[in-house]
Each structure stands twice: as structure tokens, then as C-alpha cells.
């Protein structure tokens, strides 16, 4: 197995995160690599010819990012309209247009180059993803259900896009890219991406950091082909949720709220395991993948919405 380490983690630790029964030809660990509840660590791309590879491709299928561009300035973001979007999301909990919890979010972004207000949606297939698990030993049914769930996740982000349209006017789609997918190659091999985005040379993707940290639009270089045409979907967690709690006790949530707009009703207590202290630094992660992507536009977060 060829292991490419683009993370800051030691190789020995990365080996401990790989499932013992995975037979892979190549595993790419990206800067956001971290273990989780899914079979594969987040922030990986895996090339395998293992017959039962589908059991490694489950969990949060189709989760992705959707970047939107408005025709208004960032100064026009106000709490009244931000609250209206939050109310629409709360009203659709459980159906299409459900933002969900955890590290899923809606950000309002201001480009550093004085461009218009942008929005970034990060969410997935909610409870739909669990329906895939039952079919890991039935390939044709698995593939059909996986495709359905990925489409549901895209439709879910599109519904949230629609709510933003209602409140802020016509909003242009820049990109919508899932980061929990699989691909069957022409030679029959499977390429599983867990928390990593499919990107070809010249294409763009978006990398957020944390709820008040910068976000960057990147373009892939020719060398991205060397890492299975895959790139990070963010900076990734640097500590577990349980380890976050002591840091949350001393974190200045009031100061953070003074710098970014949050909708009414989002409590500090709900942010304790997803605060800025839980995530890696954007510039440090970008340095690890500088051969594979180049920055296009950098954004500051001026509004955060999550844990509704």
C-alpha cells in the first residue's frame, strides 16, 4: 500500500487509523485528516480493488459544500434578514432544507478583494445516509441507493439556497461539491473519498476553517492528479469533541459574537464542541498542499449559522 501523507500527523498514527481489513493500493491523507465514527478517517482518498470495498464508503454520503455569490455588498447583511433565514431553516427541520447539527453550517462571507457578499452551505444527507448501510453486500442496490442519497444531499443544499434567495434576492451558484463519495474507475478499481473533494487540474473547490476563521477558494494544479484528484474539504478537527469542553469553558464566545453575526437563539452551550479551538489553522493546512492547489479568493466570515 502506498501512503501519501499531506497531513501534519506522524505516519504511525495514520496507519493506526486505517481499518485493519482494508486492502488498498493507495491511501492519501490530506491536511484535514482525523478519525471519526465512519470506517475511513475523514480527509482521505483511497484506491482499492477489494471486492467488498463498499463497506468503507458509508457514512454521511453526499455531504458537501455549496458556494453562492450575491449581487449585494457585505455591508448589507443585517440581523433581521439573517434571522429570517434561520427561521426558514428551523421550519424545515427533518425535510429538504435541513442544515443539521455538528459542524454543518451556513456562513456569510466577505471577500478580501472587495467583492460581493457570498454564502457557503455545508451540509449533507441527514438521516437518509443510513439507508445505504443495509446494502453493502448487494452492489447494485448499494450503488442505486448511494446515488439517491447523494442527490438528496444536493437537493437539500439547493433548498437552503432557495431560502437565501427568498431573503437576499437572486443568488448565483458558484459551485456545489460533495466530499463523501465513491468513483468506479475504467479499470474496475474503486476510489473512495471520505471528507475529500474530487477535483481535476484547473477546477476550483472551497476550503473553510472554523466558524470565525477564513475561507479560501482554490484552484487545482496539474499535480493534483498525483493525489487521486482529491483535495481537503476544510482544515479538519484537531481534537475530539470531548477534549473541546475544557477549552470551551475559557473561550471568549462574547468576543466571537462581536466579530461575526449569529442568528437569535443560537446559544453558546451548543457551540462548545465546534468552537474555533477545535479546528486546525487554515494557513498551516494550505502550506501542506501548496503543490496541489493555489488560492483564488480569500474570504472572511462575517455571519455564522449552525446548531439551530
Question: Using one digit for the tens of pLDDT, what is the confidence trace for 109-121?
Answer: 999 998 999 999 9
pLDDT at position 129 is 86
Q: Judge if pTM exceeds 0.85.
A: yes
% pLDDT > 70, the chain: 100
CATH of domain 62-174+199-305: 3.90.1860.10
Mean pLDDT over all residues of the chain? 96
Shortest CA distance to 208 belongs to which of 131, 280, 115? 280
- Name 276's bridge partners: none
Question: Which residues are CB-neighbours of 308 under 8 A, at least 6 positions away?
Answer: 86, 89, 90, 93, 99, 263, 265, 266
- What is d(CA 244, CA 250) in angstroms, rounded to the nearest whole number? 11
CA 128-199-15 angle, to 5 degrees, is 75
Burial of 257 (0-12, 13-18, 19+ CB in 10 A): middle
Give the start-to-end residue ranges of the domains of the chain: 62-174+199-305
Q: pLDDT tens digit string along 246-285?
A: 899 999 999 999 999 999 999 999 999 999 999 999 999 9
CB atoms under 10 Å from CB of 136, counted, come to 17
Neighbouring C-alpha atoms within 13 Å toward the C-beta of 196: 33
Residue 89 φ/ψ, nearest 5 degrees: -65, -45
Question: Maximum Cα–Cα distance for the chain, whole Å?
Answer: 54
What pLDDT is stored for residue 37 in this prediction?
86
Model pLDDT, residue 102: 86
Mapping DSSP onto H, E and C, the string for the chain reads: CEEEECCCCCHHHHHHHCCCCCCEEEEEEEEEEECCCCCCCEEEEEEECCCCHHHHCCCCCCCEEEEEECCCCHHHCCHHHHHHHHHHHHHCCCCCCCCCCCCCEEEEEEECCCCCCEEEEEECCHHHHHHHHHHCCCHHHHHHHHHHHHHHHHHHHHHHHHHHHHHHCCCEEEEEEECEEEEECCCCCEEEEECEEECCCCCEEEECCCCCCCEEEEEECHHHHHHCCEEECCCCECCCHHHHHHHHHHCCHHHHHHHCECCCCCCHHHHCCCCHHHECCHHHHHHHCCCCEEEEEEEEEEEEECCC
**Average pLDDT of the segment spanning 205-225:** 97
| pLDDT given for residue 245 in this prediction | 85
Amino acid at each position: 500500500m502506498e501512503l501519501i501523507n499531506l497531513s501534519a500527523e506522524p505516519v504511525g498514527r495514520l496507519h493506526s487509523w486505517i481499518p485493519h481489513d482494508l486492502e488498498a493500493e493507495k491511501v492519501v491523507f490530506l491536511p484535514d485528516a482525523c478519525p471519526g465514527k465512519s470506517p475511513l478517517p475523514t480527509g482521505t482518498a483511497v484506491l482499492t480493488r477489494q471486492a467488498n470495498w463498499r463497506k468503507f464508503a458509508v457514512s454521511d454520503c453526499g455531504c458537501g459544500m455549496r458556494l453562492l455569490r450575491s449581487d449585494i455588498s457585505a455591508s448589507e447583511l443585517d440581523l433581521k434578514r439573517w434571522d429570517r433565514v434561520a427561521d426558514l431553516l428551523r421550519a424545515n427541520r427533518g425535510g429538504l432544507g435541513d442544515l443539521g447539527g455538528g459542524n454543518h453550517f451556513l456562513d456569510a462571507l466577505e471577500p478580501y478583494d472587495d467583492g460581493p457578499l457570498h454564502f457557503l452551505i455545508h451540509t449533507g444527507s441527514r438521516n437518509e445516509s443510513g439507508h445505504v448501510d443495509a446494502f453493502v453486500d448487494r452492489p447494485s442496490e448499494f450503488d442505486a441507493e448511494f446515488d439517491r442519497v447523494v442527490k438528496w444531499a444536493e437537493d437539500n443544499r439547493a433548498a437552503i439556497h432557495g431560502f437565501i434567495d427568498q431573503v437576499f434576492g437572486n443568488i448565483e451558484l458558484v459551485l456545489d461539491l460533495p466530499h463523501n463519495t465513491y468513483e468506479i474507475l475504467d479499470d474496475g478499481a474503486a476510489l473512495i473519498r471520505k471528507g475529500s473533494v474530487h477535483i481535476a487540474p484547473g477546477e476550483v473547490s472551497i476550503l473553510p476553517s472554523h466558524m470565525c476563521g477564513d475561507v479560501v477558494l482554490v484552484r487545482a494544479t496539474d499535480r493534483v492528479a498525483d493525489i487521486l484528484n482529491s483535495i481537503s474539504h476544510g482544515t479538519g478537527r484537531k481534537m475530539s469533541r470531548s477534549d473541546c469542553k475544557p477549552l470551551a469553558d475559557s473561550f471568549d464566545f462574547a468576543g466571537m459574537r462581536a466579530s461575526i453575526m449569529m442568528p437569535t437563539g443560537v446559544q453558546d452551550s451548543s457551540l462548545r464542541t465546534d468552537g474555533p479551538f477545535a479546528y486546525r489553522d487554515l494557513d498551516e493546512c494550505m502550506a501542506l498542499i501548496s503543490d496541489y492547489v493555489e488560492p483564488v479568493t480569500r474570504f472572511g466570515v462575517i455571519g455564522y449559522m449552525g446548531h439551530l
